[in-house]
Amino acid sequence: MKSAVFALCLAAASVCAAKEVSVHDPVMAKEGDTWYVFSTGPGITFYSSKNMKDWMPEGRVFKGDPAWAKRAAPTFDGHVWAPDVHFHNGKYYLYYSVSGFGKNTSGIGVTVNKTLNPRSSDYRWEDKGMVLQSVPVRDDWNAIDPNIVEDGKGGAWMAFGSFWSGLKLVKLNADWTGLAEPQEWHAIASRSRGPSVADKSAGPDEIEAPFIFKKGDYYYLFASFGLCCRKGDSTYHVVVGRSRDVTGPYVDRNGVDMMKGGGSVVIAGDKDWKGLGHNSAYTIDGKDYMVLHAYETVDNYLQKLKIMEMKWDATGWPTVDAADLNRYRSNQLPSP
């Protein structure tokens, strides 16, 4: 009996000691039989997996800093924020942002590659430079957290934004590397402090990280409300609204426009997990999934990767099971 108990203790210790994938702001793409997760980090950190559970570190996308980063964000420290990845016209487009924390000295750029496989002879990221920039006092929005969505009519749009006057949507050009001309802009979500104020302060309006997911007749706009990056004091949580048109208006379950503070809670965490947010969403083999980060209470609020199945209620709204936060455990493999 003692040997059996000892074996159980060893097994439990092994599980506890297993290293999980620690990421902020994860997005995901699949090439062939391999999944890739990209996240905020030095040069954009990324991982590969054959099963969405066991992940191998693959290093970083940028070996150095994007050439334009310091011009847009003088306090840029090498951490590239909030990527978004899409396959378009035979290539992978990876959007990213550079900024200074709490400032709208920010810019969104895009880099392009034929493959996501770092062991391929075709693997070579080609940075196309800055797509959009925000400047203090001039702009009442913040050029971070890009997400690209297609409108089903041949057009592509970039949602973005953090704090200030909220989330925006702007049309991209045919190359997906700049803004369409003439420019077309839309405001899609806000927790506004009142009249537009273009100043250096982010203000109290805690909204960021848009991700637009098409399902059936609707576009679903996910956003993160609350504060990230404060360990146990983090209040980050995921909300959603929907629209039949990619440009909005997006309304929540109660019909409240997200431009007027609307947003129905999808998941807000529990005693075990805090600071849930900056999600992405995908359809994989006929199922829908939400990908996000969450801070684990018992591990000193370390941020960890979560992939949760997303289901839909009778009225067409997305739901996730909070118990999946503990069920899903990533496993970080040794570096190649």
Q: Does 59 appear as a known binding residue?
A: no
Q: Does 143 appear as a known binding residue?
A: yes
Q: Does 142 appear as a known binding residue?
A: yes
Given 25, 84, 139, 257, the catalytic residue: 25
* Residue 206 annotated as catalytic: no
Q: Does 101 appear as a known binding residue?
A: no
Q: Does 87 appear as a known binding residue?
A: no
CA distance 70 to 286: 42
CA distance 125 to 62: 8
Given 208, 252, 257, 296, the catalytic residue: 208
Cis upstream peptide for 336 (omega within 30°): no
Look up residue 131 and give its two tokens: 């797509």
* Residue 126 annotated as catalytic: no
Q: Does 188 appear as a known binding residue?
A: no
Cβ–Cβ under 8 Å, residues 201 and 250: no
CA distance 124 to 116: 9
Q: Does 163 appear as a known binding residue?
A: yes
Q: How many CA atoms lie within 13 A of 71 on its CB side?
A: 9
Could you give the residue ranges of the DSSP H alpha helices within 62-182? Answer: 69-72
CA distance 336 to 334: 6
SS3 at position 119: coil
Strand partners, 97: 81, 108
Instruction: Please give the annotated binding residues for substrate, written as ranges.
Output: 25, 102, 142-145, 162-164
- Looking at the annotation, which residues are catalytic? 25, 208
